Structure 1
Amino acid sequence: MKGLEEMKQTMKRLAASALAAVMTLGLSATAFAAGNGGDRTLTVTGDTLDNKNVYAVQMFDARVTGTKDDYTFDSYVLADEDWLTFFTTETRSGGVGLTDQNGDSKVDGEDARLYVESLRGQTLADFAHLAQKWVRSHSSNFAVLTATASNDKAIFTELKAGYYLVYPEGGSTGTSNRNTDAMLVNVPRDSDAEWHIKSTFPTVDKKVDTGSGNADNGSAQVGDIVTFTLTSKVPDMTDYATFYFAFKDTLSNGLVIVDSNGATVQDGNSITIDNLTVTIGGKTVATGYTVSLNSNVLKIEFTDLKTATLAEGSITTDAEIVVTYKAMITEDAVVGTPATNTVEVEYSNDPSTSGHGTSTPDETDVYTYEIDVNKWATDAGGMTGNLAGAKFVLSTNATLTNGESDTSVIKLVGSGNNYRVAKPGEGGAVTFFTTTATSDITISGLGEGTYYLHEIEAPTGYNQLKAPIQIVITMTNTPNPGDATITVNGEPATGDDGTVVDVENKKGIELPETGSIGTIGLTVAGVAIVLFGIFAPHKKKKAQ
């Protein structure tokens, strides 16, 4: 009889185990959908959580009594037998190393509950961190729910009441956030739970210096060379044996990377760019990474940032990683289409796999502008007409010492009514343009700054301008990024887009002059004094 009773007990245990297995399988089947069969919602927020995955695993099932609005958590039961394995596994193997907590000479789910109930403060945070490491490396054994954050918020729905381990994808950083990647959360039965996770993830900040210091955007002339700076931080790599980290910088067609001589850098893998610099924690780093350029995508890649930082010594989490390089503005950076540069960082996001995450991209824009020169005369259609035959140069100086050959003259390429600023050494560049009778002359590729339009030859029968026209382009970024104002001799430029420079010529013939108006005025005054000296005595004598 005793043997028969033992057999019955054994059969009961096997049946219970089979039932537990069926429940676990059923849990897994529903967990990867919306939830695990309940009616509660868990909302997780985070400052840099956007587009990141957040995971939730039920550790304990909560037994609740009472009504939906007036309830009590009576007890907790382990939700999965695999959690008991975590609790009983030795600490050297990544487990808790749990021993009997209630004196019944065995270790079971009740001991696990008593152990967790005794934890507070940092010991609880350390336990949560240890639990998420275990789940990451044994994820196939658990019903892991996944929610992708949008607007820094991840939402889990249809959850049963219970005690949940919640953690984001790996790769978080920040010395003040250590061991806060994982949370242990009670999900009530009658109200939604919302928790803020303290993780921060790798970010990247991009700036451009067009001559006035680093900024989010700027203005430059075609052919100008600008400096780009990429800044990120060393992540917390404690749980990783190796850590992948790379800057991926995509340049628009309006930019080409150049070396210290201004020469265009050619595509290739494992290339050297002599003016590209990398610093970590303020220290220049020359090894541990590779540089590649392919189809306008620049990549600075650390296959193991952890080893690279250890090699430099005394570099800690949150130390800045800074990359600088130079690029030239090309003719493709036209008005309305700035030279755009977008960067993101790619990084290891799971210590137990080779998975990678990506940061939110950051972008800089370099804008160019254009002017439309409207040469007109009253007898040539007025301001709505165009006077042909006027020859102009555009310069950055109010005075031309050597005429159109002056070093301040801006070289242009183009013909007819359309010109743009030439790149250094570009073939076919000219130093002047001549107005036509068909349209305004458009000059594109100009950056923010002060320019002078000099008329060096007037149309036949018209008077040449005596002074240059000052044109000032001011980048305002108002109301839209890249917006600018243009003034002509201190007055707003005309036209629908505020880009038209009106230049009037008047008919007539004037003999060449020397000196200035001031000199002529003094000369006339001098002659008047001499004449007064001659005639004044005669008048006096006649009076006598």
Structure 2
Amino acid sequence: MKKIFTLLMCLVMALGIVTTAYAEEMTGSITIENAIEKQSYYIYRIFNLESFNAEENAYSYTVNETWSDFAHDDGIRGHYITLEEKSGSTYVKWIEGANVNEFANLAIKWAKEKNIFPDDGWTVKDAGNYTFENLKLGYYLVDSSVGAICSLDTTNPNVTMKEKNSLTTVEKKVQENSTQDFGKENNASIGETVKFKSEISVGKGAENLVLHDKMDETLIFNNDVVVRMGSETISGDNYTVSTETTDGCTFEVKFNDKFSASLNENTKLLVEYSAVLGSNAKIHNVDAESNESANRNETWVSFGDDLTSTHSVTNTWTYEFDLVKTNQDNKIIKGATFYLYNSETDGDIIPLVKVGEGVYRVATDQELGLLSGDERTKGVLIEAGKVSIQGLDEAVYYLGEQSAPAGYNKLSGRVAVTIGKQSNKAVLNGDRTAYISGGVQVINKSGTELPTTGGMGTRLFYIIGGLMLALSAVLFVKKRYMN
């Protein structure tokens, strides 16, 4: 019995020795479940796992030398862990009730500030599960380029950590002034204020959150950013707006990390702002590619470690039409003048400026300020023949003739011009003297020429009168003869 008891005691001691040796020599793995496509994952071994007994939930950790300063920091030691120096190693014990998430956030912040190199890292090609293999056993911190703490756990020897993060996205919309609805495109006249909004869907724990907005040079930013979360207006202390950018965008809205960290996943941030459609606006061209003549506004967000969302774009359109003044035979005639109105009767004149030979454009307030007299409020008169009028919204306009060409009758009323969702260009003959089709044709009719003194009409009266007198004389002589 003594021999059997001695043998059992030896076996127990041997098993203990084997367990310790096994922990030092074995390797483990970390599997990232639901890894996000094209995102990077990094792992940091904060503590070494010297030995463990999973059945009894007993683990012996020592501090990884790289993380020694972190473990001994006053904000960590005594708050989350206790340390014991023994046999040249620093042993770690977790303080019961300490907040694991806070510890993990402090650890990742420390790693980035101190430029601690990760034990391993990988960029995932396709979404799904990814496994880090052949790892030394320890207490690992896993961080992802999405920008939030992924997980913190022990390899004993294998562990699965679920990716709980989601990507931050943005959707941009522009307001159509005729309906007040927001969508992906709108129509506007030059000088009009165009309203935009960008809705950010925040991913879990988004860090370094910045909204970027790039406008075409034809859109003039009003620098009037307002951020809302639901019906609440967010204080400007939580973000900064800058027009001095390095990536070519018009302005950036940078949210501070404290504010970003306070947001729950899928929180909607609504960023509202506006711009004026400038005098250099692109005019819709029916012959151009689909978006080539649009005034574009592009938005995206950056977050995490150099991550960006997909870009969201809106298009603002402005139109033109050709005015062609002809006679009843479609021949182009000059000398007529017009104003463009917003109503069939009364209403207001839409001020225009002349920007080239036969080209007129809706005037901006600044351009009107440079004019004098009636032109300051009415703009310049349109001098037709064939001219182009540019920078118009989708609407019905009215041409009011102020004077007709010499020899032609002035129009009795205004001519309606309907601008749809495209420009309306005219087609002329080869030498550009006659109207063929398209545009807006305005016809003037001429009256017949009246006779004048000394002209052919007077001589005609003399001849006819003389013939009538001669005929009367013949009839008089004949009648006397018969009597």
Q: Which amino acid aligns with 2:381?
A: F
Question: CA, structure 1 residues 339+509, in 2 after alignment: closer, same or farther (shift >3 Å)?
Answer: farther
Letter matched to residue 220 of structure 2: V
- Does residue 277 (structure 1) correspond to residue 220 (structure 2)? The answer is no
Counterpart check, 1:53 vs 2:19: no
Query: In structure 2, how many angstroms separate the alpha carbons of the residues matched to 1:147 and 1:293?
Result: 35
Cα drift, residue 54 of structure 1: 3.9
Q: In the alignment, is residue 390 of structure 1 matched against residue 336 of structure 2?
A: yes
The corresponding residue for 2:314 is: 364
Structure 1 length as normaliser, TM-score?
0.52
1:181/1:434 CA distance change after superposition, 3 Å: farther
Supply the AA of the counterpart residue of 1:53.
Q
Asked if the contact 2:210/2:301 (under 8 Å) is kept, the reply is yes
Q: Is the 8 A contact 2:210 2:302 kept in 1?
A: yes
| Matched letter for residue 474 of structure 1 | G
Question: Equivalent residues in 2 for 1:482-497 (5 A)?
Answer: 484=422, 495=427
Q: C-alpha distance in 2, partners of 1:55/1:101?
A: 27
Paired residues for 1:9-88 under 5 Å: 52-55=38-41, 85=47
Pairing 1:210–2:211 present: no
Query: Cα–Cα, structure 1 residues 105 and 462, in superposed 2: closer, same or farther, change >3 Å?
Result: closer
Deviations 1:68-123 (A, max 9, x none): xxxxxxxxxxxxxx8795656xxxxxxxxx84025799879xxxxxxxxxxxxxxx
In 1: Cα distance, 2:132 partner to 2:150 partner: 25
CA RMSD of aligned residues (A): 5.0
- Matched letter for residue 212 of structure 2: K
Counterpart residue number, 1:224:
192
CA contact under 8 A between 2:166 and 2:204: conserved in structure 1? no
Q: Would you say the 8 A contact 2:342–2:348 is kept in 1?
A: no
Q: Is the 8 A contact 1:371 1:499 kept in 2?
A: no
Q: What letter is aligned with 2:176?
A: T
Name which of 277, 280, 294 aligns with 1:338. Answer: 294
| 8 A contact 2:343–2:397 mirrored in 1 | yes
Distance in 1, matches of 2:266 and 2:306, equals 19
Whichever residue aligns with residue 254 of structure 2, its letter is E
1:171 is matched with which residue?
A: 147
Q: Secondary structure at the match of 1:324?
A: strand
Return the index of the structure with the highest Cα Rg. 2
Structure 1 position 298 matched with structure 2 position 251: yes
- Name the residue aligned to 2:359: 418
Q: CA deviation at 1:157?
A: 11
Stretches (4+) displaced over 6 A: 42-45, 103-108, 130-139, 155-162, 178-182
Using the TM superposition, give the Cα deviation of residue 43 of structure 1 relative to its aligned residue in structure 2, in angstroms.
Answer: 12
1:318 aligns with 2:263: no
Instruction: Indicate the residue corresponding to 1:257 in structure 2.
Output: 221
CA contact (8 A) 1:377 1:505 kept: yes
| Offset, 1:290 | 1.9
| Structure-2 residue corresponding to 1:529 | none
Q: Which runs of 5+ in 2 are unaligned?
A: 1-20, 62-99, 136-140, 156-161, 285-292, 429-436, 451-483
Letter in 2 for 1:208: V
What is the Cα deviation at residue 225 of structure 1?
0.8
* Preserved CA contact (<8 Å) 1:280 1:320: yes
Specify the alignment match of 2:85 in structure 1. none
Query: Contact 2:150 / 2:165 at 8 angstroms: preserved in 1?
Result: no
CA distance in 1, matches of 2:208, 2:131: 36
Equivalent residue for 2:443, pick from 504, 511, 517: 504
Taking only the aligned residue pairs, the percentage that are identical comes to 23
8 A contact 2:42–2:119 mirrored in 1: no
CA contact (8 A) 2:190 2:278 kept: yes
Q: Distance in 1 between matches of 2:317 and 2:393?
A: 7
How far did residue 277 of structure 1 move? 1.8
What does the per-residue CA deviation read over 1:318-348, in whole Å, with 9 as the maximum and x for residues that have no partner?
332222222110122222432211112222x
The amino acid across from 2:122 in the alignment is L
Alpha carbons of structure 1 residues 84 and 298: separation in structure 2 relative to 1, 3 Å = closer
Match of 1:145 among 122, 125, 130: 122
Amino acid at match of 2:302: E
Alpha-carbon deviations, 1:249-285, whole Å to 9, x = none? Answer: 1111111123xxxxxxxxxxxxxx5x43222343222
Contact kept, 8 Å, 1:414 with 1:420, in 2: the verdict is: yes
* Count of aligned residue pairs for this structure pair: 348
Q: Which amino acid aligns with 1:100?
A: N
Structure 2 equivalent of residue 531 of structure 1: none
Which residue is 1:525 aligned to? none
Structure 1 CA distance, aligned partners of 2:150 and 2:128?
22
Partner of 1:60: none
2:416 to 439, 461, 470: 470
Distance 1:99 1:446, change over 3 A: same
Q: CA deviation at 1:169?
A: 2.1
Q: Name 2:458's counterpart in structure 1.
A: none
Output aligned runs, 1:427-446, within 5 Å. 427-428=370-371, 430-436=379-385, 440-446=386-392
The 3 A distance-change label for structure 1 pair 56 and 245 is closer
State the Cα distance separating 1:197 from its structure 2 match. Answer: 7.0
The letter of the residue matching 2:255 is F
CA distance in 1, matches of 2:438, 2:241: 42
Answer 1 or 2: which has greater strand percent: 2
1:276-330 deviation per Cα after TM superposition (whole angstroms, max 9, x unaligned): 32223432223232222238712222233437x86xxxx6443322222221101
Contact persistence 1:171–1:202 (CA under 8 A): no
Structure 1 residues 101, 509: closer, same or farther in 2, change over 3 A?
A: same
Determine if contact 2:146/2:166 at 8 Å carries over to the other structure.
no
CA contact under 8 A between 2:238 and 2:259: conserved in structure 1?
A: no
Cα distance, 1:226 vs. partner?
1.6
| Inter-CA distance 87–411: structure 2 relative to 1 (3 Å threshold) | farther
Contact 2:243 2:251 in 1 (8 A): yes
Distance 1:495 1:456, change over 3 A: same
Please tell me the residue identity of whatever aligns with 2:443.
E
Contact 2:239–2:253, Cα closer than 8 Å, also in 1: yes
Give the CA deviation at 1:230: 1.9
Asked if 2 retains the 8 angstrom alpha-carbon contact of 1:54 and 1:166, the reply is: no
Q: Does 1:375 align with 2:339?
A: no
The aligned residue for residue 401 of structure 2 is 455
Over residues 190-240 of structure 1, what are the superposed CA-to-partner deviations in whole Å (9 max), with x where a residue is unaligned? xxxxxx977421111211113122121101000001211122144433xx8
- 1:53 touches 1:168 (CA, 8 Å); kept in 2? yes
Deviations 1:379-420 (A, max 9, x none): 5xx3xx532111122111111x4xxxx633333332421111
In structure 2, the CA distance between the partners of 1:140 and 1:389, relative to structure 1 (3 Å rule), is same
SS in 2 for 1:206: strand
Looking at structure 1, the residues matched to 151 and 59 of structure 2 have their Cα atoms a distance apart, in angstroms, of 32
Change (3 A) 1:499 1:287: farther
Q: Does the 8 Å contact 1:132/1:167 carry over to 2?
A: no
